[in-house]
A and B are shown apart, each in its own frame.
Chain A
Amino acid sequence: MMRRGSIVFAIAMLALLFAGLAIDYTERESLRPLAESYVRLLPQEVATPNVITGILLAYRAFDTLGEVAVLFMVAAGVGLVLGGGVMRGGTSAAADAEPVRPASELVQTGAKILCPLIMIFAAYIIMNGHISAGGGFQGGAVIASGITLLLLAQPDYRLDVNFLSITESLAGVLFVSVGVAGLLFASGFLDNRVLPLGRFGAFYSAGTIPILSVLLGVKVGCELCVIVDRFRR
């Protein structure tokens, strides 16, 4: 009773705070100065039509590198917390004793049709990151969802975790080496003018941003696949 009352009181206080914030908020008529300078300078300096990808992979590329590091740490952390069960005899032996039920026919047929389409869609999203809406993170998440569908349809499918780990680490190393190339050949770490900027809106344009998008997509996809696979055992 006391707990219930204190929960309601806490939620009510938070609701009052949020209501005060929401009522005081008025929509802006024009962009803030920093955003306005980003939108103005980005087509000239970075030459991507997609301003958000340009910010994520050129102006704020260091934050993206930090987030890639966080993802890697989480994959390692999940492996640490869940991986110890393979060594223990008790729980995993009991889990192996019951047979794995095959997926229903609807899931199997649907997965056969949908998985190739999902992979092509993910590649399209990654490669379109710098031209229109899309990007490395989004495409990587779609790759992982395609692999999850495959794992659901065939429960005894063995993912090659070693290959995925090596690919993901290689993508991370290449990402940092592209950044160092920016230090050596252009004006800063992860500067995208190492490669030619090209025509605005063309496929091969915007310097190193398509390469960084592909590396990001591969890394995020592999990471999420490894995390999903850990939960299967």
Chain B
Amino acid sequence: MIGFAVSNVVLATGFVLILIGIWGMLTHRNILRIIVGFSLMGTGTHIVTVAIGYVTNGTAPIIDRALSVADAPSRAVDPIPSALVVTAIVIGLAVTAVMLAYAIRLYESKKTLSIDAFTESKW
């Protein structure tokens, strides 16, 4: 169609997601929206990592009827970035849980979700 390879499109999408996440973290004053921006940035990084592993006309690295053992080294997609991203997704969820716990505590102490209420902690 246009002439862009699949992994270029996915890579660009991942980078755009990272930029949107960083912009969201920098611009909003509500703690929950900052956490959403952080989660978006993490998802964008995962997409970039998986996109780097793509091999032209490759298929998923699962050996079954569609991909025989002999064909696998030449036709499979790189499995290492996918394995790393599986770990990274779970850790991203865990970090988001800790951030939300802190947000709950901050709200209980000041009764507001805006980070402008906590500026006296800066030195």
Show the binding face of A for B, using Cβ within 8 Å: 7, 10-11, 14-15, 18-19, 21-22, 25, 27-32, 34-36, 38-40, 43, 49-52, 55-56, 60, 63-64, 67, 70-71, 74, 77-78, 81-82, 85, 91, 132-133, 135, 137-138, 141, 201, 220, 224, 227, 230-231
Contact = CB atoms under 8 A, between A and B. Distances in A.
Interface residues of B, number: 49
Contacts of B82: 52
Contacts of A28: 54-56, 78
B11 interface: yes
Residue among B53, B60, B83, B91 with the highest chain A CB neighbour number at 10 A: B83
A7 B12 contact: no
B11 A25 contact: yes
B94 interface: yes
Contacts of A43: 63, 69, 72
Interface of B: 5-8, 11-12, 15, 18-19, 22-23, 26-27, 52-56, 60-64, 69, 72-74, 76, 78-80, 82-83, 86-87, 89-91, 93-95, 97-98, 100-102, 104-105, 108
Given A7-B23, A35-B79, A27 B5 contact: yes
A141 B90 contact: yes
Contacts of B97: 74, 78, 227, 231
Nearest to B80: A35
Q: Is the interface of A mostly helix, strand, loop or mixed?
A: helix
Given A11-B19, A38-B80, A39-B72, 14 more contacts: A22-B11, A27-B56, A31-B73, A34-B80, A38-B79, A40-B72, A52-B82, A71-B91, A81-B98, A81-B101, A85-B108, A91-B108, A132-B62, A141-B90
Contacts of A81: 98, 101-102, 105
Contacts of A15: 19
Q: Is the interface of B mostly helix, strand, loop or mixed?
A: helix
Residue among A14, A82, A91, A133 with the highest chain B CB neighbour number at 10 A: A82
A22 B64 contact: no
Contacts of B52: 25
A227 B104 CA distance: 14
A50 B52 CA distance: 20
B90 A51 contact: no
Nearest to B26: A7
B101 A231 contact: yes
Q: Which 10 A-B pairs give the minimum distances between C-beta atoms?
A: A74-B94, A51-B61, A18-B15, A81-B101, A49-B63, A35-B78, A51-B79, A55-B83, A27-B5, A40-B73
